[in-house]
Chains A and B, each alone.
Chain A
């Protein structure tokens, strides 16, 4: 009966009900949009940063990340290839052998990160072949080096010159080699620009005396949103002698930056809640004021205040539910649209972003968690607001209410 009464009350003043539902609807829509853009900005940043070098996930020998030496390299076994296959959501495993060495032109010496790569696989992750500022990309696995342009400049070397690499190889052997520079690379990150040297994988393995060995597989995933799941699955599938790490572990400073930003986002979101909460409160306040007479009559004919409160509570819950559902229904396509068609930040920003190899776009995130979380929060907010009419009913005096 109470439910029937509540339901019919809703449809009696249809416009008022629709306005209240609309206020919940917009609350969900706007808070989802806000969160979606916040998370979207992180997603694009992560996408950019992991594509600089690390990828979304990597496989190493257990203990390598804590102590990044060649002694912690591994010989990839057949089972690793099978495990890191498409079954678990890995599109491609990009092999690398990396270590520090001194790069020299004879006159000048600089520390460098020397990375042996599979020239054919690497671009799938880092678009390395797109980053040439001079010369050409590897052709096959012929001995050649690609050198970051800042490093090359400091060494005073150009395309065609010979690069000397000196360092320590696998199990302490001394490593040394001479390589013709095939091309120069330009990176958005100044760090990479200062220290990267790429060799074809077999050359690097020969240089470091680490035949058939790798330090890592960087993974290209089918769906980066699923990184955590893929890594857990791989961790289970692979023997304990391997470690599988997510970008969060590989790039702690990125996580640091995002966490710091997210904390600020909480404040912005709180401000939004205050405003949308007040918007919803406004409509409920007006509704309560309009219905004083009705409440007065109900009290006069003997309906207990508890029952009246229940009716109002049911009404607001129903409106909240409808508003939330409608809000979700509208925000889904909207966020999808902005995910596929990110907001472009304009020419001026594009220039600043280009310096850092970042995309000057702001997409929306469609992480299901956002929708669920905002739906629940706004619904709870509307229930909290229903306390006002309930409070109003509790202190209502029928004579005064009916006089209005």
Chain B
């Protein structure tokens, strides 16, 4: 069964001139995918990702996650749903500035009311996975952009989500950090089977994806499976 399935998803922003950001999108994402949504700016990538993550509501259509229609959930239910099932990585990292790297990762599990030993173990594991075990007790402002984004990935995974949504995760990063981040993400995808869905217009990211969905003016124009280049 598909982990994410959308049916005729549309989003129109009301205004003097109504703008259709996403139009009649039907797609299906299976567990274990490493998929990029690409397209020029304004093509509706972020809007689509926001709707898939339950941050925004579609004007029409449904979003089924694990078979459950999240468009039918209330505001508070959505927050709980996101906490349990979805991980987010943002373009601007968005770590909690007052918490250390370690606490940022742990924070989500605290919200989930996980016991302390589980939190500690998983935090160590994740920080090691993103290669930041030695920077665990440093606050975000003392970390480089690449390091912050790696903490953000660790945080996104902390809740053991069904999938991770990453909106332009490399837009603020230099080449080395980008390569490093992509290595970590594809490693996690390959070894632990974690599903990643990211929006991007960065060729380096597209090159690593196994499926590339192209949006133009809110519609899917191509959807191709491919073998990633190393």
Contact = CB atoms under 8 A, between A and B. Distances in A.
Interface of A: 1, 5, 8-9, 11-12, 297-305, 307, 397-399, 402
A300 B82 contact: yes
Contacts of B88: 300-301
B154 to A, nearest CB: 13
B90 A297 contact: yes
12 contacts: A5-B99, A9-B98, A12-B97, A12-B98, A297-B96, A300-B88, A300-B94, A301-B83, A304-B111, A305-B76, A399-B55, A402-B90
B105 to A, nearest CB: 11
Contacts of A9: 98
A64 B98 CA distance: 73
Interface string B86-104: 1010100010111100000
Interface of B: 50, 53, 55-56, 76, 79-80, 82-84, 86, 88, 90, 94, 96-99, 107-108, 110-111, 155, 159
A11 B98 contact: yes
Contacts of B56: 397, 399
B96 A299 contact: no
A303 B76 contact: no
A303 B50 contact: no
A302 B82 contact: yes
Contacts of B110: 1
Per CB-CB distance, the 3 closest pairs between chain A and chain B, nearest first, are A302-B83, A8-B98, A302-B82
A contact patch SS? helix
Contact of B79 (A8, A12, A297, A302): A302
Nearest to B56: A399
A305 B80 CA distance: 10
By CB atoms of chain B within 10 A, which of A9, A12, A301, A304 has the most? A301
Contacts of B90: 297, 300, 402
Given A297-B94, A300-B90, A307-B111, 17 more contacts: A1-B110, A5-B96, A297-B96, A299-B79, A300-B53, A300-B82, A300-B88, A301-B88, A301-B108, A301-B155, A302-B82, A303-B83, A303-B111, A304-B80, A305-B79, A398-B55, A402-B90
Contact of B76 (A304, A397, A398): A304
A288 B27 CA distance: 38
A300 B55 contact: yes
Contacts, number: 53
Contacts of A397: 56
B219 to A, nearest CB: 21
Nearest to A395: B75
A302 B107 CA distance: 10
Contacts of B82: 300-302
Contacts of A12: 97-98
Given A297-B94, A398-B55, A303 B99 contact: no
Contacts of B55: 300, 398-399
B99 to A, nearest CB: 7
Contacts of A307: 111
B11 to A, nearest CB: 11
A12 B98 CA distance: 6
A310 to B, nearest CB: 12
A298 B82 CA distance: 11
A12 B83 CA distance: 25
A206 B159 CA distance: 100
Given A297-B94, A399-B50, A399-B56, A302 B99 contact: no
A402 B46 CA distance: 12
Contacts of A1: 107, 110
A11 B86 CA distance: 31
A11 B141 CA distance: 14
Nearest to B93: A297
A304 B112 CA distance: 10
A200 B151 CA distance: 94
Nearest to A304: B79
A8 B84 CA distance: 26
A292 to B, nearest CB: 13
Contacts of B108: 301-302
A281 to B, nearest CB: 24
A335 B40 CA distance: 67
Contact of A303 (B79, B84, B94, B155): B79
B149 to A, nearest CB: 14
Q: Which of B79, B96, B111 has the most CB of A within 10 A?
A: B79
Given A300-B55, A304-B76, A304-B79, A8 B99 contact: yes
Contacts of B83: 301-304
A12 B55 CA distance: 27
Contacts of A302: 79-80, 82-84, 86, 108, 111, 159
A398 B76 CA distance: 12
Contacts of A299: 79
Nearest to B98: A8
Contacts of B94: 297, 300
A399 to B, nearest CB: 5
A226 B128 CA distance: 70
